[in-house]
Amino acid sequence: MPEGVRLVAVSKFHPVEALRQAYDAGQRLFGESRVQELLQKIPQMPDDVQWHFIGHLQTNKVHQLIGRTALIESVDTERLLNFIDRKSEEAGVVTRVLLQVHVAREETKFGFLPEEIFDYFRARKFESLQATHICGIMGMASNSDDKQLVEHDFMRIREVYDEVLRIAPDLRGFDILSMGMSGDWPLAVSQGSNLIRVGTAIFGNREY
Ligand SMILES: *Cc1c(COP(=O)(O)O)cnc(C)c1O
């Protein structure tokens, strides 16, 4: 693993035994994409595990997640962001999040468009958050064998991250660029990723 790059072991759909093996090998950072599954796994794993939520999050499940995650990587609308903020304030905790940006072709319909993110920071709306800290950007490249396309997608995600810092140079703690999965993480790292989310390459194929 290149220096300065952290690894999220994406354990969704894998049994707790698999997570324990990874834990025993030293892994402390795990990623889950479904609220129920995460809540089931948390009490079965040691307390020093850090959990990242990486899936599409519905507002009606937010209250269950608040206070349980080290980072919610997949905030994909301003409405969800504000909802997380309200629920965090009510619970008396600060929630750390990434904004998910959508650049890939078809793959996922989730995520902010780059322009929506720029508008958000230009209007300095983050200043009105009471209990939420935006720590950076998460994105996915197109699910494609075309390396140039994938590299281009990562470059665009990186540019979104850089542009936010140009728009709001006084932002504090905006230092996470999460991109790269099993099939494309070396390319993501070469484009500046410092957080990769790897499932299949660690745990094998998922059984849905
Ligand atoms: C499932 C998932 C991953 C891991 O994908 P692999 O190809 O198994 O490494 C990474 N990021 C997100 C957002 C995911 O949903």
% of the chain residues with pLDDT over 70: 98
Query: φ and ψ at 30, to 5 degrees?
Result: -125, 150
Identify which of 14, 33, 107 to mutate to test ligand 1's pocket (most ligand atoms within 8 A of the CB): 33
Between residues 29 and 104, the one the model is more confident about: 29
- Which pairs with CB-CB distance under 8 Å and at least 24 residues apart come from 113-119? 114/156, 114/159, 114/160, 114/163, 116/78, 117/160, 117/164, 118/160, 118/163, 118/164, 118/167
Q: What spacing in Å lies between the alpha carbon of 11 and ligand 1's midpoint?
A: 9
Q: What is the mean pLDDT of residues 163-187?
A: 97
Of the listed ranges 97-106, 127-136, 150-159, 184-193, the least confidently predicted one is 97-106
pLDDT attached to residue 105: 74
Q: What is the pLDDT of residues 12-65, one digit of tens each?
A: 999 999 999 999 999 999 999 999 999 999 999 999 999 999 999 999 999 999
Instruction: Check whether 127 has a pLDDT greater than 90.
Output: yes
* Mean of the per-residue pLDDT values of the chain: 96
Ligand 1 site, residue 33, Cβ cutoff 6 A: yes
Q: What spacing in Å lies between the alpha carbon of 6 and ligand 1's midpoint?
A: 15
Q: What spacing in Å lies between the alpha carbon of 115 and ligand 1's midpoint?
A: 25
Of the listed ranges 1-10, 86-95, 159-168, 197-206, the least confidently predicted one is 1-10
Ligand 1 site, residue 199, Cβ cutoff 6 A: yes
pLDDT attached to residue 1: 64
Cα distance from N-terminal residue to C-terminal residue, the chain = 29
- Token digits for 88? 């965090």
Q: What is the mean pLDDT of residues 62-90?
A: 98
Nearest-atom index, ligand 1, CA of 181: 9
Ligand 1 site, residue 141, Cβ cutoff 6 A: no
Ligand 1 site, residue 54, Cβ cutoff 6 A: yes
Residue count of the chain: 208
pLDDT attached to residue 107: 61
pLDDT attached to residue 208: 78
**Residue 177 in contact with residue 194, Cβ under 8 Å?**
yes
Q: What spacing in Å lies between the alpha carbon of 196 and ligand 1's midpoint?
A: 9
What lies within 8 Å, CB to CB, of 72 at 6+ separation is 52, 53, 57, 65, 84, 95, 96, 97, 98
Cα separation, 155 vs 138, in Å, equals 13
